[in-house]
Amino acid sequence: MSGWWHAAIALWWGSIAPLAVQATLLILAVAFVDRLLPKRTWPQLRAALWYLAMLKLVLPPGLISPLSVVRWVPRGWSVDTVPAVLEAGSAVDPVGFAGAIVALWLAGGLTLTLFSAYRMQRMRRGWSAAGHEPTPVWLLELSFAAANRVGLRRPPGLILSRSVRAPFVDGLLRPHIYLPHDLHQRIPRDQLEHVLLHELAHVKRRDPWFAAACLAIQLTYWFHPLVWLAARRLSVLREQCCDRSVARVLRDSTVDYRRTLLEFASRMVDDASAGRLGFIRPETLILARLRLLEHGGQERRWLRRGVTTVVIAAGLVGFFPVARSANAAVGAVADRITRPPGCLQLRYTVLQKLAQQRSKAGDQPRTNQEERIDEAMER
């Protein structure tokens, strides 16, 4: 087996595997806290906790700080590495056992990545093939005015497509808002403004970038069900955060915005194509979005930001570092993979010592024992 494959196996078992173990503990803790928080707690705070859990999956596994709670955990309870998994395969072949798992991970990740790219490309081809309607001037003016209200200096493009059933944002560097081609003819102007404010809030909050990052983490940790759970929870919280942003902009018109959400949900309850937009969800989630708007968006903004900042800082400093040494983790796994176990290692050591003694003897005649040693070394 080539050296680069050994290095790849050691890197995976020294980084991806311990991060998956650490993230399991952290995601479960975040889910427990999210469950305990009051229903009307700021969705921004909940989203920050879940983003911290996802962030752990891209940080070095051995990251630690002087204030980390792991320093209070006994040594035996730390999750530095996962060498026990390799020990389970030592009866067969530790290199083949570890390599097979890495090969399976690569195959699964590559398959899901290609499938996701193909699906997105197919959807975009469908949007283009269906054609676009020209955008009325008054609708562009409404979009510019809504962008100013949410604080966007450069509003995204607006596309009226015949193939979409509900509004959404697409694109990272150059985002566009897609609307059904006849939406501006079917709903009142104030509801259309609510729709634009919600989608513009996604752009303002950079939600397309966060969604893309979560997708990349999902594809990397495709084998981890809790990562998919965290990504799904964040998808729901992003919708709730945008609802609160719109409520702050509308102020006294929050009741009208709730009515708009309710009407859209009732119209699209039988339309499966709108499932990715936050309307076709379990009933409890739709009700949760409406419940969060009962008191409007007039909370103390400075208090929300302060509490969220403190929670993020505490998580980064005290709870995220849950491993002791990344180098030790990689080194332990690499040593387990590259060093043959048991008597085989002892045999090679003895043969190496005998070969060294022979080289020191100079040009003395070779004995039958030395010839057998050379043959064994060649094998």
* pLDDT tens, residue by residue, 210-261: 999 999 999 999 999 999 999 999 999 999 899 888 988 887 778 888 888 8
Q: Report, as an integer, the average pLDDT of 335-363.
A: 54
State residue 175 phi and psi, 5-degree precision.
-70, 150
Judge residue 229's burial from the number of C-beta atoms within 10 Å of its C-beta, 0-12 exposed, 13-18 middle, 19 or more buried: middle
**pLDDT value for 329:** 46
- From residue 157, give the alpha-carbon distance in Å to each of 51, 88, 161, 264: 28, 56, 12, 22
Cβ(221)–Cβ(53) under 8 Å? no
Strand 176-180 and strand 157-161: the pairing is parallel
* Residue 18, pLDDT above cutoff 90: no
The CA distance from 10 to 27, in Å, is 25
State residue 170 phi and psi, 5-degree precision.
-135, 140
CA angle 349, 352, 356 (to 5 degrees): 140
Per-residue pLDDT of 52-94, as tens digits, reads 889 888 887 766 666 565 555 554 444 444 545 555 444 445 5
* Residue 176, pLDDT above cutoff 50: yes
The CA distance from 77 to 69, in Å, is 12
**pLDDT value for 76:** 44
Q: Name the more confident of 15 and 339.
A: 15
Q: Report, as an integer, the average pLDDT of 125-132.
A: 78
3 state DSSP class of 149: helix
Among 53, 47, 52, smallest CA distance to 245 is for 47
Q: pTM (2 decimals)?
A: 0.75
Encoding tokens for residue 269? 């309850």
